[in-house]
Amino acid sequence: MKKVLFVCLGNICRSPLAHGIFQRMVNDAGLSDEILVDSAGTASYHIGSLPDVRACKVSEEMGITLTHRARAFTQEHFQQFDYILAMDKQNLQNILILEPSTHKATVKLMRAYDIKHPNEDVPDPYYGELDGFVEVFDMLERSCDVLLKEIREQLSL
**Residue 14 annotated to the active site:** yes
How does DSSP assign the chain, residue by residue? Answer: -EEEEEEESSSSSHHHHHHHHHHHHHHHTT-TTTEEEEEEESS-TTTTPPPPHHHHHHHHHTT--------B--TTHHHH-SEEEESSHHHHHHHHHT--SS---EEEEGGGG-SSSTT------TTS-HHHHHHHHHHHHHHHHHHHHHHHHHHT-
Counting contacts by CB under 6 A, is residue 92 touching ligand 4NP? no
Counting contacts by CB under 6 A, is residue 12 touching ligand 4NP? yes
Please check whether residue 90 is in contact with residue 114, taking contact to mean a CB–CB distance below 8 angstroms.
no
Among 8, 58, 107, 147, binds ligand 4NP (CB under 6 A): 8
Site string for ligand 4NP, 97-136 (x = CB under 6 A): ---------------------------x-x----------
**Residue 144 annotated to the active site:** no
Tell me which residues in 26-65 interact with ligand 4NP (CB under 6 A): 41, 45
Report the residue number whose CB is nearest to ligand 4NP.
10
**Residue 145 annotated to the active site:** no
Chain Cα centroid distance, residue 140: 8
Closest CA to 148 of 85, 100, 101, 95: 85
Counting contacts by CB under 6 A, is residue 19 touching ligand 4NP? no
Query: For residues 4 and 8, which CB has a smaller minimum distance to ligand 4NP in the complex?
Result: 8
Segment near ligand 4NP (CB under 6 A), from 6-14, 60-68, 94-102, 106-114? Answer: 6-14
Q: What's the min distance (Å) between Cβ of 49 and ligand 4NP? A: 9
Q: Which residues bind ligand 4NP (CB under 6 A)?
A: 8-14, 41, 45, 124, 126
